[in-house]
Structure 1
Amino acid sequence: MSRRPRDEPSSSYSSAQKRHNPGVAGGGYGAQQAYSEDQIQSMHVADHYSARTNQSLEERENSPIIHLKKLNNWIKSVLVQLYTRPGDRVLDLACGKGGDLIKWDKARVGYYVGVDIAEGSIKDCMTRFNGDSDQQRRKKFSFPARLICADCYETRLDKYLSEDAPFDICSCQFAMHYSWSTEARARQALANISALLRPGGTFIGTMPDANVIIKRLRETEAMEFGNSVYCITFGEEYAEKKFPASRPFGIKYKFHLEDAVDCPEWVVPFHLFKLLAEEYDLELVLMKNFHEFVNEYLQKPDFADLMRRLGALGDGRDKSTLSQDEWEVSYLYLAFVLRKRGAAPSQRRVGNTSRGKTFLAEEDIEVLSI
């Protein structure tokens, strides 16, 4: 894999400032500094996802949360279908093992750049893109791609991806909350997205629903809650179960989800996420808890048919229907869509996709070190 030096860090900005230049974020870390605590925790998260092996189709179907996974895939598919046009240039932040590549292919996108902190996941994404995965049961993907191993919440990406930008759509699925450990990381994430999206471009994503999580915590006498497939645990520092709006970053909890997640996560108060995004010219278009999202979009015939084909809600038989415990987990999440201010250009950019390839070797993966 090719290794590229990280761009020079930007200067620090305080939260008191009202406006920020999109593409410039605060709290940069110099290369000469030791890793901070939040960087170390980010590495632990990366190690957790890198260590997860690709499951065979049989193993996947035997997962205790298989219908939840299918439901999540349905929600992501609906977002992609609603907001993607043929030929779009896609920036997939926290792309993981490339589980959404097929969704982008079905949307007939023109170019794809995937970024993830976990080196093992990026390698798996490359394997899936090349059609070498056991799960790959389709023709080769129709778009060129570029894969980058980097912490997109620490690394400034606007200069590095200047030849690829602007992107029409950015996606960050089940990962934006990892940026919320510090204000600097949250700002760098939004700065990257804003700088790389075209005016009128769309940012789609999914993340934990802080309102639901805090409500569930306050409903129990203990510091943890869950069911047969998940458990959320808060530290004793939150024993009073109060979370002042003046300290919205770094509210950590431990999240365990069977056959999926076992690592620290951070609460993201969505109303504050919305306000911070507005500082980077990203305006809210949609925010719905997963239950509301499912109930609304299942009313549309095309999406109802997709749900049946995916088998997420099954056919009413006990062994093929989303369990109550899985449905409860889905209530912990929300879907959101933001749009970058400004009018879309009258003419779409016709690809300079020369940096993307239709087949990727391991040395094509670019590693941006902190």
Structure 2
Amino acid sequence: MKRGYQESPSTSLGPPQSRARHDPQGGAHFLEDESTKNFARKVADHYSARSNQTLEEREASPIIHLKKLNNWIKSVLIQLYARRGDAVLDLACGKGGDLIKWDKAKIGYYVGIDIAEGSVRLDKVLADDAPFDICSCQFALHYSWSTEARARQALANVSALLRPGGIFIGTMPDANVIVKKLKEAEGLTFGNSVYWVRFDEEFSEKKFKSSSPFGIKYTFHLEDAVDCPEWIVPFHVFKSLAEEYDFELVFAKNSHEFVHEYMKKPEFVELMRRLGALGDGNQDHSTLSADEWEAAYLYMSFVLRKRGQPDKSQQGSRRDRGSMHISEEDIMYITDN
């Protein structure tokens, strides 16, 4: 998407050097059923069709404070783990909404990639850009959990592209909360004024086989955001699978726990205030409605570290690439030819 600046005292003048790539076709490195492909296309079309909203239109969203809270969580993760000069891979980057967060962290190199059908072998596509110091996948990793093959490919991609000692940060639905709320619900649907979750009749007994942790589908609706199928990611299975790809867990926190912990730090209180997600009081979620705060409970954050020690000779080699601004030639369309 962009190629940015060489490191200098005036780093606030422009974005980090960066590239973004979009894959309209996806890869064919493992088989996917037609419904999965149609779903991926639907989600891609949904976000592509969203018009650029004015500030007034954004502020009028019924979940504006939830969006601001989620932006705060992503900002805190970036501030905690990104270091000056890092090479960053931003998976499911959309239209680059997090670029300003990375810019403020003074990273050295950025690649954002958004794939319509997520089976492509990114280690081959991004061979010239790797290794990365940090990878981010925000509110998207659970879409790979429709099959074991897709889940494994996602983790294999990240592991292959991260340097030893590199960090993988992300956010996704909290499976424990979703299953707990389902079991407490009278039927197969639960929610409030801003969201609802519905499971199909096949889960009428509200039991999930530990032998089949992939492909547990539900429909998720969030006002002014998304309305599509998603998949449960049992975190103990995610952690175990990640370990197979050389990752170790640093932490995993539900969004409520995350807010309570990091709002104890003055710099993050001030960040939340600047983002407009905190009112005049000092309560953790004073501007969120009760329904938005309940919706926030559906999500969690995680941090993984790739095993091994970094090779310092590989760092900093990309800082002198690129120009200040994005242009058409900075966008590469990845096809399955």
TM-score, normalisation: structure 2? 0.87
CA deviations on 1:301-328 (whole Å, 9 max, x unpaired) are: 11111111112132249xx711100000
Cα deviation per residue 1:87-111 (whole Å; 9 max; x = unaligned)? 0000000001211000000000111
Aligned with residue 87 of structure 1, among 65, 85, 88: 85
Q: Secondary structure at the match of 1:240?
A: coil
3-state SS, counterpart of residue 200 of structure 1: strand
Q: Identify the residue that residue 243 of structure 1 maps to in structure 2.
A: 208
2: CA distance, partners of 1:301 / 1:95:
29
Which residue of 1 is the match for residue 307 of structure 2?
341
Select which of 35, 38, 45 maps to 1:37.
35
SS of the residue corresponding to residue 344 of structure 1 reads coil
Question: For residues 242 and 342 of structure 1, do their structure 2 counterparts lie closer, same or farther at Cα, with a shift above 3 Å needed?
Answer: same
1:50-129 correspondence runs (5 A): 50-117=48-115
Per-residue CA distance 1:76-129 (angstroms, 9 max, x = gap): 0000000000000000000012110000000001111001125xxxxxxxxxxx
Separation in structure 2 between the aligned mates of residue 38 and residue 89 of structure 1, nearest angstrom: 31
Corresponding position: 1:283 with 2:281 = no
Picking from 134, 137, 141, the partner of 1:172 is 137
The question of whether the paired residues in 2 share the 8 Å contact of 1:38 and 1:182 is answered with no
The equivalent residue for 1:48 is: 46
SS in 1 for 2:123: coil
Q: Is the 8 A contact 1:111 1:356 kept in 2?
A: no
CA RMSD of aligned residues (A): 2.3
- 1:234 is aligned, of 199, 216, 231, to 199
CA-to-aligned-CA distance 1:47-98 (integer Å, 9 cap, x gap): 2222222221111111111111110011000000000000000000000121
Counterparts of 1:1-370 in structure 2 under 5 Å? 28-29=30-31, 36-117=34-115, 151=117, 153-316=118-281, 321-352=287-318, 356-370=322-336
Unaligned runs of 5+ in 1: 11-27, 119-150
Please give the per-residue CA displacement for 1:285-312, whole angstroms capped at 9, x wherever unaligned: 0100000000000001111111111121
Please state how far the C-alpha of 1:227 moved relative to its aligned partner: 0.4
Post-superposition shift, 1:160?
A: 1.7
| Partner amino acid, structure 1, of 2:231 | W
Q: Which amino acid aligns with 2:303?
A: V
CA distance in 2, matches of 1:266, 1:3: 23
The residue matched to 2:125 in structure 1 has which SS? coil
What is the distance in 2 between the residues matched to 1:346 and 1:365?
29
**Secondary structure at 2:252 match in 1:** strand
CA apart distance, 1:208: 0.1
Number of residues of Structure 1 aligned to a counterpart in Structure 2: 314
Q: Are the aligned partners of 2:26 and 2:335 in contact in 1 as well (CA < 8 Å)?
A: no
Contact 1:92 1:112 in 2 (8 A): yes
- Contact 2:63–2:292 (8 Å) recurs in 1: yes
Structure 1 residue 7, shift from structure 2 partner: 10
Mapped partners of 1:346, 1:249: distance in 2: 38
Q: Quote the residue 2:6 is aligned against.
A: none
How far has the Cα of 1:355 moved from its partner? 7.0
1:351 Cα deviation (Å)?
2.5
CA distance in 2, matches of 1:99, 1:5: 19
Query: Matched residues, percent identical?
Result: 68
CA deviation after TM superposition for structure 1 residue 36, in Å: 3.0
1:353 and 1:185 map into 2 onto residues whose CA distance is 33
TM-fit CA distance, 1:348: 4.9
Separation in 1 of the partners of 2:22 and 2:178? 39
Change (3 A) 1:6 1:345: farther
8 Å contact kept, 2:62–2:223: yes
Q: Distance in 1 between matches of 2:159 and 2:334?
A: 20
Supply the AA of the counterpart residue of 1:64: P
Contact kept, 8 Å, 1:157 with 1:192, in 2: the verdict is yes
Distance 2:104 2:290 in 1: 31
Give, in angstroms, the shift of residue 345 of structure 1. 2.1
In structure 2, the partner of 1:140 is none
C-alpha contact (below 8 Å) 1:93/1:170 kept by paired residues: yes
Aligned mates of 1:282, 1:362 — CA distance in 2: 36
- On the 8 A contact 1:81/1:107 being kept in 2, the answer is yes
User: What is the alpha-carbon distance in structure 2 between the residues aligned to residue 282 and residue 9 of structure 1?
Assistant: 26
SS of the equivalent of 1:158 reads: helix
Which is further off, 44-53 or 337-346?
44-53
